[in-house]
Amino acid sequence: MQLAISIIDAFTEQTFRGNPAATTLVEKFPEDAQMQQIAAEINLSETAFVQPLAPNHFQLRWFTPKQEVPLCGHATLAMAHYLREIKAIATDIPVIFSTLSGDLKISFEDNWIVMDFPAAFYQPCSERSQQILAEIFGDRTYKCLGQSEDYITVVLDSEAAVQDFQPPYDLIAQLDGFGFIITAIADQHHPHDFVSRFFAPKAGIPEDPVTGSAHCSLTPYWAKCLGKNTLIAKQLSARTGDLEVSDQGTRVLLKGKAATFLRGQIDL
């Protein structure tokens, strides 16, 4: 069996920036174990598979090198870009992706891709995770927002503190949940409103370049803090990436661009 595949850089207009995801359209999903093998072989943060259900309606699944995940923003953006590029969809009406996180509506505004995702909100962390956070940060200033879905989030006191953070992956891997977010308000002279970084060593992702799903909880928090519904976000990984995010109450709109890096074929 042969699968056409593309690697798409998401949340950027330029290759070698943003977050790369592998994308493939299949008539029928391979066995779960085979999809996991493909994701491990490609070894990007996410490999995404879709199979068609109806015109402009697909089932979408995401795999890290180690596991399937319930939600991934950058690979959803990459998949929408990929399907548009291979002319597998109409772009004058929304695309629906049926996923483990429900139906996600994707629309197109010129070169922009707009994703309608469920908002997520913070609950208190476990005492064990709080103790690990205290060990991670020592005497440095931080504020734990809590745990949202599978992500623990900490606010630091400056953009520079987020940029300069040296992640102790062994301790981060001991935290509850799937991923760990650090965030801060942006410096006043920068065009973005807030910044973040994301780590998920338990899932085989030491640091994710740009994490759309993290902004499902970051957006409601910063919208309330800054008193504005639409914000510009920047993820401060080595590759960096930019998002426009909008707080819609129980939903979050994530807006970004993408660029194709590679087109190829998998032989199974």
46 carries an active-site annotation: yes
pLDDT tens digits, one per residue of 11-40: 999 999 999 999 999 999 999 999 999 999
3-state secondary structure 152-186: EEEEECCHHHHHHCCCCHHHHCCCCCCEEEEEEEC
Q: Which of left, alpha, beta for 76 (phi over 0: left; psi -120 to 50: alpha)?
A: alpha
What's the CA gap between 26 and 4, in Å, rounded?
9
Q: How confident is the model at residue 256 (pLDDT cuts 50, 70, 90)?
A: very high
Q: In terms of C-beta density within 10 A (0-12 exposed, 13-18 middle, 19 or more buried), how is residue 97 classed? A: buried
What's the CA gap between 256 and 268, in Å, rounded?
33
Task: Select the CATH number that applies to the domain covering 127-247 from these four: 3.10.310.10, 3.40.50.510, 3.90.230.10, 3.60.20.10.
Answer: 3.10.310.10
pLDDT tens digits, one per residue of 108-158: 998 899 999 999 999 999 999 999 999 999 999 999 999 998 999 999 999
CATH architecture of 2-117+256-267: Roll (3.10)
Among the listed residues 13, 31, 41, 46, the single catalytic one is: 46
Per-domain residue ranges of the chain: 2-117+256-267, 127-247
Whole-model pTM: value is 0.92
What's the CA gap between 62 and 83, in Å, rounded?
15
- Inform me whether the pLDDT recorded for 1 exceeds 90: no
Nearest to 60 by CA among 49, 52, 71: 49
